[in-house]
Amino acid sequence: MAGLDLSKKLWRIPQQGMVKGVCAGIAQYLGVPVKLVRIITVLAMLFGLFFFVLVAYVILTFALDPLPEGAMADADAPSNSALLDNVDAVLAAGEQRLREMERYVTSDTFTLRSRFRQL
């Protein structure tokens, strides 16, 4: 189970759902906000597709497996952009430290101290 990519399978997410979690699962699968899927569903029902949407929702409720409980913990993992920002900050700090060391090594103070050590 740990090796499976849960984001590539269509799941029902009852933990985030208002009724059975079908809209939440569709939103996760498509990578869009849950509110957008819910609004589209309600608008489709209002514009004459009430029976179709209701039947599809009931079928998906029974056809889709619920998302396993432990799988939601992976959603709290930092995003790629947050990880890249963190790496960028660490590299910038390392570069600044390297510049300070280079400035010290090329300074007159370092030369004077090294000469005193040789005596």
Q: Name the residue ranges covered by the structural domains of the chain.
A: 1-77, 78-119
| 73 token code pair | 């913990």
pTM: 0.51
Q: What is the mean pLDDT of the chain?
A: 81
| 19 token code pair | 């009724």
For residue 77, name the pLDDT band (cuts at 50, 70, 90): low
CB-based contact 22:60 (threshold 8 Å): yes
